[in-house]
Amino acid sequence: MPVRLTRLLTAALISAGLSTVVLAATTQSLTWRGDVVTANGVVKGMAKAWQSTGHGTVEIQSFNTASGLDAVASGAADIAGSARPGNGGATDAGLTFTPVAWDGLVLITSPSNPVSSLTLQQVHDIYFGKITNWKDVGGNDAPMDVFAVASPGDGVEFSLRKLLFGRGSQPVAAPRLYVNTKSMESEVELDPRAFGVSTLSSVVGNPKIKMLRIDGVAPSVSTVSSGSYPLFTELYLVTNPSSPNAASAKAFVDFTQSTQGGSVLRSHSLVPYGDGSALVAMDASRRSRILAAVGAHASAEPTQVASAAPVRPVVSPAVAAAAARAAAASTPDLKNVTGSVVAAPELASIKGVRGDAFTVADASSHGASFAKVTGDAFVSYSKVIAKAPAKASKTAATEEKKVDSKKVASAPAKASARSYRVGAGETLYSIARKHGVDVAQIRNWNHLKDNTVRTGQVLRIESR
């Protein structure tokens, strides 16, 4: 065989081998876990585009920011999604936070609510507990149902509080807590008195949710892009440089910043991070201006405490962390709040997990001081073991656990189906907590359209 032909064949074989290696590397499957906002706005569409270009699949586990960061730190996931930057805590240490898009933090309520605009000062005072009735901001004479996400590490909550109070771990007067923004948004759709925070990319186009203007400026892609809407924020993808899949994870993050990735972001009402150089330039002055407007100042975050060795938890990270947040919030004076935020244990599996978190506010504490809050949270696992024996009930997948700010206890024992009469001052949430069931179940059993109940109303409570 001629030497030249031999060399050509050798070169061809080497090239083929290199192509195979590159293809194997780019088709590696990745696991993503994080907040619902980043999942829906960034990752779902990006994963499809990524795979269409010959790359591997991305398993998406959307839950909340805390669970995503814990998973990437422990190696249970390759990429996390976060609506906040790293805060210097133990869980964040060693992780790489890459900003990939700009979104708007939006205050939301029901479309039936006549209030359409709030000032930054009013938003601050609502979360501070000074404003508790919609009439005080031009609405109906009705109490505000302030909703928030339970996890102290939730990216959306953290970023808004950082802007309004100068620190993301600031406790707020939110008597009703949820495991993530998606579950919170579902309740806003049902409650005409609701108030909460989500993002533009998460609720835009949803006719069941009204986005409130801030100081007269409506949240939109154009107002976020220009910076005229003051509550703009970054969305991050988070990776672990020491992960075995670090190279593939970084390649996915880099893809989000490509031309094709930018198109995906724009299609979800996001501004690609690279298009927001003006926002980067104005960020520091914007933060100072907001704090000056509401009379607050920036302060250091509480010391972060590392989580214990990974164990299989009985509740979700957000729900487990709710107790830590409630404990930090129990002081009556927000200005003197100090404490530690305890990182939640790693969630072994989030499939089939759903939950409602509850808190009880001391109404007499509203006003200049923060309402005292205690937290009770429930989570249920939807997979049911058929005909499980009574002795196995403690390990059945349907077992529910109750978490408060001091202890973890088993859910109440099963009771027979019966009628329950609503007492004075009770809410659907307190009734669900009392009977160890979910709010959604009570609504379903009684064909309720929302979470409103009245004193004397008779409800059906079925056995668990």
pLDDT in tens, 397-454: 333 333 333 333 333 444 467 889 988 767 777 788 788 787 778 888 988 877 777 8
| 419, HSE (Cβ side, Cα atoms, 13 Å) | 4
Domains for the chain: give ranges and CATH numbers.
Answer: 104-229+299-410 (3.40.190.10), 412-464 (3.10.350.10)
DSSP 225-274: HHT-SS-EEEEEEEE-TTSTTHHHHHHHHHHHTSHHHHHHHHHTT-EEGG
How many residues does the structure list for the chain? 464
The first and second tokens of residue 157, run together, are 């909550």
Alpha-carbon torsion (422, 423, 429, 432), positive or negative: negative
Which of 102-111, 205-214, 443-452 is the least confident region? 443-452
Q: Which residue has the tokens 């099963």?
A: 414
88 or 352: which leads in pLDDT: 88
Rounded to the nearest integer, the mean pLDDT of the chain is: 74
**pLDDT, tens digit (0-9, with 9 covering 90-100), for 60-106:** 998 888 889 999 999 999 999 999 998 777 778 889 999 999 999 99
Q: How far is CA 43 from CA 49, 80, 81, 344, in A?
A: 10, 10, 8, 24
pLDDT at 462: 86
**pLDDT, tens digit (0-9, with 9 covering 90-100), for 14-32:** 233 322 222 233 467 999 9
Q: For strand 418-421 and strand 210-211, is the pairing parallel, antiparallel, or unpaired?
A: unpaired
| 253, HSE (Cβ side, Cα atoms, 13 Å) | 23
